[in-house]
Amino acid sequence: MFDMQKIGRKIATLRKAANMTQPELADRLGISFQAVSNWERGISMPDISNLPELAEIFDVSIDELLGRESKFIKTVAEEGVKEYFKKEEISHEELGEAIPILKPKQVEEVMEQVKATALPNVSALLPFLDEDSVRELAEETLKQGGSLGPFLPFMDSDDASYFAGIAFDRGEPMGMYLPFLEEEDLAELAKAELAKGHSISSYLPHLDEDIIGELAKDELARGGSVTAYLPHMDEDVVAEIARLELERGHSISSYLPHMDEDAIAELAKAALEKGHSISSYLPHLDEDMIAELAKAELEKGRSISNYLPHMDEDDVAELAFAALDKGQDISAYLPFLDGDVVKELALRAFRKKK
């Protein structure tokens, strides 16, 4: 890219050497003195139409003004876009640095030449084209088998959806299109992917939570897995689906990290009533709830050894004394108790034997 600061200093130096003020130079060029001021401060650059006249006023070449040779800019400034393309090819780098100082009409002419010469590197043009021109150039690129990735940030959503539809019909990867589509279009494509039996995991980060919830329910109804959906779903919907899965006798361990503690506690109680293990639930519950569940299990004469690593030491101690009073083995409790409590338990066990 051209160094605007360096070019600005060059213009200021040449202007002062010519004993001209900024307003005087602006009058010669038919522009505002603010434009000249912006050039000299490196805020902007002269557009290409100003370069020949600046060079003539200061009696220097265009290359000297720019600080280095640029055959494309020199030819376009003096002869026009078409003349350059009759004689030369332009690199991606040259195009990228020249486009910001071309006039809109010249950018259109460059686009026509690019299309005519099948130049593969057109991304430098895109920020300076209107949406219709971007679409037109994208269609040409598509005909030549090129990628539309560089075009998508400069398209409107309708055009992005149009090209995404073509890619979908061809069975091409959809990932690059998804960030540029409206949610309604994304949802339709996701449903079409599911209808073909394809994964929609790449769609999920771009979809609304409500839509993902609906798609997850549809997937479950077909007997599919919704594990990939869960991180992108509302907690209440995850809990709703988890309840249905529990009723069907299915494991819901993959659902638990995506649910709130109250819902997990509710489902843990339901699982216990059905005689299921809740080991996978415990890491997602708070200590008070775990203690409550453990006490209920102990009352039923069931082992609570899998609860102990997730409980507060005081609760473990309380339950250890209760188990001891019921004549149960408390060896599983001991690793989770401090020495003083263990001694007290040992003393009570000794007294019970006497």
- pLDDT for 35-52, tens place per residue? 999 999 999 888 888 888
- pLDDT for 141-189, tens place per residue? 888 888 899 999 999 999 999 999 999 999 999 999 999 999 999 999 9
Q: Are 102 and 128 in contact (CB under 8 A)?
A: yes
Helix, strand, coil % over all residues of the chain, rounded to 5: 65, 0, 35
Under the banding of pLDDT at 50, 70 and 90, the label for residue 92 is: low
- pLDDT for 283-296, tens place per residue? 999 999 999 999 99
pLDDT at 88: 74
pLDDT at 117: 61
pLDDT at 68: 80
**DSSP assignment of 5-65:** HHHHHHHHHHHHHTT--HHHHHHHHTS-HHHHHHHHTTS----TTTHHHHHHHHT--HHHH
Q: How far is CA 167 from the centre of its chain?
A: 21
Pick from 161, 35, 46: which is nearest to 100 by CA? 46
Q: Are 126 and 150 in contact (CB under 8 A)?
A: yes
Looking up tokens 């994208």 gives 138
Mean pLDDT of the chain: 88
CA 100 – CA 44 distance, rounded (Å):
10
pLDDT at 168: 95
Supply the Cα-derived Rg of the chain in whole angstroms: 36
**How many degrees, rounded to 5, is the angle at CA 211 between CA 206 and CA 212?**
70
- Measured torsion, CA atoms of residues 192, 194, 195, 197, in degrees rounded to the nearest 10: 130
Q: How many CA atoms lie within 13 A of 13 on its CB side?
A: 10
Is the pLDDT assigned to residue 124 strictly greater than 90?
A: no
- Cβ within 8 Å of residue 14, ≥6 positions away: 58, 60, 65
* Residues constituting the chain: 354
CA 94 – CA 260 distance, rounded (Å):
56
Looking up tokens 């990228």 gives 96
CA 144 – CA 138 distance, rounded (Å):
10
pLDDT at 121: 59
Top pLDDT among 73 and 331 is at 331
Q: How far is CA 33 from the centre of its chain?
A: 44
Q: Residue range 69-81: average pLDDT? A: 82
Under the banding of pLDDT at 50, 70 and 90, the label for residue 1 is: low
pLDDT at 354: 60
- Cβ within 8 Å of residue 70, ≥6 positions away: 62, 63, 94, 97, 98
Under the banding of pLDDT at 50, 70 and 90, the label for residue 116 is: low
- pLDDT for 239-298, tens place per residue? 999 999 988 888 899 999 999 999 999 999 999 988 888 999 999 999 999 999 999 988
- Measured torsion, CA atoms of residues 50, 52, 55, 61, in degrees rounded to the nearest 10: 130
Is the pLDDT assigned to residue 122 strictly greater than 90?
A: no
- pLDDT for 183-240, tens place per residue? 999 999 999 998 888 889 999 999 999 999 999 998 888 888 899 999 999 999 999 9
Return the percentage of the chain with pLDDT > 70, whole number.
96
- Cβ within 8 Å of residue 151, ≥6 positions away: 126, 134, 137, 138, 141, 163
Tell me the torsion sign for CA atoms 346, 348, 351, 352.
negative
- Cβ within 8 Å of residue 38, ≥6 positions away: 44
Is the pLDDT assigned to residue 140 strictly greater than 90?
A: no
